[in-house]
């Protein structure tokens, strides 16, 4: 039996980042991981592989739609799907091996196998039981399928199967217009599939700024995706090669069907805590199946902590990472902290969509007065030069104090641009503070500055 200061169960972004910070702070650390490779859902079957496919399919889109306009003539590339999957797998390999290297560098033990907690202070992996002063559950989440719909990962797939399809489907039906549905829907649409997205709500991307959501839907429609909104999927009948999706329109309760070669079920995720033995330990859970924790990530059982998708809050890799770092610091006697008001969200489609902080809807609900500064990428020289003028930056600031409260961007590089607003918000900056910061020309970031200027005396290029 070996003994550790910290044993972390799960090596996703929450677990591996927590482990590295624990080791850096002098704690003897081990991570339990049952997968063949480190990195969890994000690196193996989530964020990273989907970004590889988004990148590859975007290149095809550029070749088909924009090359000729720039005088680059000739036949568009054809898709070698096997090679594209191999490229994606290579990207996964490089990233997961990178984590293995970081574990070695930081002297973190990888306990290979699936872990359980037989009692507080002990973690069982296979036949071995290890002791730990602190146990951290970072087991992440899994797709939450719709009741009665069986995922076979061939014809009816979750986000995992959607990264490994045998071939590009002629028709893909996506259930759920959230982040996963739209990212993977975009990939297959660009690769030539007819993509129909069926969504329960009357709009796409729940929780997002309403104007961004509308513009996003318009742009995706222009790219060829079709949307059936206000439709609750009832069932999916699948054979070996086809499926029929039945849905009810909420406005009149009428029932409809649509056929597909592949159906992607992207209706959310739920915490993955199977096999840990939490019931027997008496670990308190929320009604939604998340592990209950206090403000310092402690469960009700002494010495057992939890972070990431397994607890409450947005299911985002970077939220889990920040919680992992904060918890490591707390265990080492420091004062780790996560500012939940400044956690950005990004959708890696083209154009990208990114947001942070309050929306107009949340501020209206709170009865808080605000002002809005908006700037279209059509007024941004750099964006226009690369066919990326669609979209805008919307900055929201407190009406009285001018303090920045939120930002919503749809447009080129949105996922990177959002961070200048995140930093400003962390420093409690006012819109005026940002407006006074010089931005290089020509860059997309000027659009953020112009939105900030629009919050004050006015944008220049509009
Ligand atoms: P989601 O919660 O974002 O969206 C699910 C959608 O399915 C909702 O719009 C919901 O109204 C709809 N829906 C539910 N039941 C339905 C039914 N019966 N018929 C029709 N529509 C129905 O879930 P998603 O996209 O599966 O993502 C899961 C989690 O993973 C999210 O928390 C997301 O933030 C995270 N994620 C984040 C990524 C990123 O940051 N780029 C990428 C991928 C996932």
Tell me the domain boundaries of the chain: 3-142+270-338, 156-267, 342-453
3-state secondary structure the chain: CCEEEEEEECCCHHHHHHHHHHHHCCCCEEEEECCCCCCHHHHHHCHHHHHHHHHHHHHHHHHHHCCHHHCCCCCCCCCCHHHHHHHHHHHHHHHHHHHHHHHHHCCCEEEECCEEEEECCEEEECCEEEEEEEEEECCCEEECCCCCCCCCCCCEECCCHHHCCCCCCCEEEEECCCHHHHHHHHHHHHCCCEEEEECCCCCCCCCCCHHHHHHHHHHHHHCCCEEECCEEEEEEEECCCCEEEEEEECCCCCEEEEEECEEEECCCEEECCCCCCHHHHCCCECCCCCECCCCCCECCCCCEEECHHHCCCCCCHHHHHHHHHHHHHHHCCCCCCCCHHHCCEEECCCCEEEEEECCHHHHHHHCCCEEEEEEEHHHCHHHHHCCCCCCEEEEEEECCCCEEEEEEEEECCHHHHHHHHHHHHHCCCEHHHHHCCCCCCCCCHHHHHHHHHHCCCCCCCC
136 CA → ligand 1 middle, Å: 26
Q: Is the dihedral of CA 305, 306, 311, 314 positive or negative?
A: positive
| CATH of segment(s) 342-453 | 3.30.390.30
Q: Would you say the CATH fold of 342-453 matches that of 156-267?
A: no
80-95 confidence digits (pLDDT tens): 999 999 999 999 999 9
CA 316–ligand 1 middle distance (angstroms): 12
Atom number, ligand 1, closest to the C-alpha of residue 315 = 32
The closest residue, in CA terms, to atom 40 on ligand 1 is 346
Which pLDDT band, with edges at 50, 70 and 90, does 198 fall under? very high
pLDDT at residue 386, rounded to an integer = 96
**266 pocket-lining for ligand 1 (C-beta < 6 Å):** yes
Query: 47-65 and 81-105 helices cross at what angle (nearest 10)?
Result: 140
The pLDDT assigned to 229 comes to: 98
Indicate the Cα dihedral angle 154, 157, 163, 165, nearest 10°: 20
pLDDT at 145: 83
The finding on whether 268 has its CB within 6 A of some atom of ligand 1 is yes
Atom of ligand 1 nearest to the CA of 144: 26
Nearest residue by C-alpha to atom 3 in ligand 1: 178
| Residue percentage of the chain with pLDDT more than 70 | 100
Give 269 Cα–ligand 1 centroid separation in angstroms. Answer: 7
**Residue 76: band (very low, low, confident or very high) from pLDDT cuts 50, 70, 90:** confident
Q: Is the CB of 180 under 6 A from ligand 1?
A: yes
d(CA 452, CA 18): 36
What CATH fold (topology level) applies to the domain 156-267?
Answer: FAD/NAD(P)-binding domain (3.50.50)
For the stretch 100-159, pLDDT in tens is 999 999 999 999 999 999 999 999 999 999 999 999 999 999 999 899 999 999 999 999
Please determine, for residue 1, whether its predicted confidence score (pLDDT) is greater than 80.
Answer: no
315 lines ligand 1 (CB under 6 A): yes
CATH number for the domain running over 3-142+270-338: 3.50.50.60
* pLDDT single digits (tens) 219-264: 999 999 999 999 999 999 999 999 999 999 999 999 999 999 999 9
pTM for the model stands at: 0.97
Mutate to test the pocket of ligand 1, among 179, 198, 208, 415 (most ligand atoms within 8 A of CB): 179
Q: Which atom of ligand 1 is nearest to the CA of 159?
A: 26
Cβ atoms 405, 397 nearer than 8 A: yes
Q: Does residue 441 carry a catalytic annotation?
A: yes
Question: Which atom of ligand 1 approaches the CA of 345 most closely?
Answer: 40
CA distance 333 to 117: 24
Phi, psi dihedral angles at 65 (to 5 degrees): -110, -30
User: Distance (Å, rounded) from C-alpha 12 to C-alpha 9?
Assistant: 9
The dihedral region occupied by 428, where left means phi > 0, alpha psi between -120 and 50, and beta the remainder, is left
């Amino acid at each position: 039996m070996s003994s550790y200061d910290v044993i972390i169960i799960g090596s996703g972004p929450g677990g591996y980042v927590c482990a590295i910070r624990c080791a850096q702070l002098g704690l003897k650390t081990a991570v339990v991981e049952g997968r063949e490779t480190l990195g969890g859902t994000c690196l193996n079957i989530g964020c990273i592989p989907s970004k590889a496919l988004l990148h590859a399919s975007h290149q095809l889109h550029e070749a088909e739609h924009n090359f000729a306009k720039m005088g680059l003539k000739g036949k568009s590339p054809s898709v070698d799907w096997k090679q594209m999957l191999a490229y994606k797998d290579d990207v996964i390999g490089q990233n997961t091996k990178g984590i293995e290297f970081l574990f070695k560098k930081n002297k973190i033990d990888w306990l290979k196998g699936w872990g359980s907690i037989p009692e507080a202070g002990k973690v069982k992996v296979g036949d071995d039981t290890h002791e730990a002063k602190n146990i951290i559950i970072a087991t992440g989440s899994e797709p939450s399928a719709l009741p009665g719909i069986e995922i076979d990962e061939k014809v009816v797939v979750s986000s995992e199967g959607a990264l490994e399809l045998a071939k590009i489907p002629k028709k893909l039906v996506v259930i759920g217009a959230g982040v996963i549905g739209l990212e993977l829907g975009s990939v297959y649409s660009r690769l030539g599939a007819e993509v129909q997205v069926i969504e329960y709500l009357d709009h796409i991307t729940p929780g997002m700024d309403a104007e961004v959501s509308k513009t996003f839907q318009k742009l995706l429609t222009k790219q060829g995706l079709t949307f059936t909104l206000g439709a609750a999927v009832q069932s999916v009948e699948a054979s070996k090669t086809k499926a029929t999706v039945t849905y009810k329109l909420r406005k009149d309760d009428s029932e409809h069907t649509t056929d597909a070669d592949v159906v992607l079920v992207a209706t959310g995720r739920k915490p993955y805590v199977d096999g840990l033995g939490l019931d027997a330990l008496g670990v308190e859970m929320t009604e939604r199946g998340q592990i209950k924790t206090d403000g310092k990530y402690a469960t009700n059982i002494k010495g057992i902590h939890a972070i990431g998708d397994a607890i409450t809050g947005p299911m985002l890799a970077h939220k889990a990472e920040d919680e992992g770092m904060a918890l490591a610091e707390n265990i080492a006697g420091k004062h780790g902290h996560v500012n939940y008001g400044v956690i950005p969200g990004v959708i890696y489609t083209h154009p990208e969509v990114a947001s942070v902080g309050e929306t107009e809807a949340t501020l209206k609900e709170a009865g808080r007065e605000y002002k809005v500064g908006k700037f279209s990428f059509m007024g941004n020289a750099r964006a226009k030069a690369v066919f990326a003028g669609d979209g805008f930056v919307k900055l929201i600031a407190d009406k009285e104090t001018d303090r920045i409260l939120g930002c919503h961007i749809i447009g080129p590089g949105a996922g990177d641009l959002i961070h200048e607003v995140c930093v400003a918000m962390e420093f409690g900056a006012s819109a005026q503070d940002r407006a006074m910061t010089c931005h290089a020309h020509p860059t997309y970031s000027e659009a953020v500055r112009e939105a900030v200027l629009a919050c004050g005396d006015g944008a220049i290029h509009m």
